[in-house]
Amino acid sequence: MAIKVGDPAPDFTLPSQNGSSVSLKDFRGKAVVLYFYPKDDTPGCTAESCNFRDQYEVFETSGAEVIGVSGDSSESHQKFANKYQLPFTLLSDKGDQVRKLYGATTAFGLVPGRVTYIIDPSGVVRHIFNSMFNFKAHVEEAIKTLQQLV
């Protein structure tokens, strides 16, 4: 069952690119931009992640955390983050349990979907953006939603 706007964001704990466990509840009191993407170091995912990187200061200024999630390993995430100087947390969702929990399933029945959730400081989902190919819009939608929350 997919998460909808207005639903509480389900908590989870996953390993980050540096191997530490990260839980969504750790960010309570801050807005969270939680984006699910298909795979590290592929053209679309690199474009999307670099767009988040390039606008990271805007997210920081608005008091929001950016968290990327894919099924890649922590080691893959570490290489990806280092290669593109990604300043935010990447989480390894092996087996896609959290992806399924949120309903950010597959695109075209083959590839893990590209979905961004904006979660307010109290833990409620305020916006969902789902687009496989409009990479830049994930960042634009996130910024626009965060501006409305302030």
For the segment 128-148, the average pLDDT, to the nearest whole number, is 91
Clarify whether 45 is annotated catalytic: yes
**CATH number of the structural domain 26-149:** 3.40.30.10
pLDDT of residue 149: 85
Confidence tier at 109 by pLDDT (50, 70, 90):
low
Q: Note the pLDDT tens digit of each residue in 7-23.
A: 999 999 999 999 999 99
Closest residue by Cα to residue 14 from 126, 132, 102, 94? 94
All residues at 6 or more sequence positions from 74 whose CB lies less than 8 Å from its CB, including other chains: 15, 16, 17, 18, 19, 92
Rounded CA separation 74/64 (Å)? 23
Structure tokens at 77: 């995430």
**41 CB neighbour count, 10 Å cutoff:** 14
pLDDT of residue 123: 97
Q: Please, what is the angle between helix 74-84 and helix 43-54, to 10°?
A: 60
**Any idea where the domains of the chain sit in the sequence?**
26-149
- Of 9, 24, 45, 98, the active-site residue reads 45
Q: Note the pLDDT tens digit of each residue in 11-58.
A: 999 999 999 999 999 999 999 999 999 999 999 999 999 999 999 999
Maximum distance among all alpha carbons in the chain? 38
pTM given for the model: 0.95
pLDDT of residue 107: 65
Average pLDDT, the chain: 93
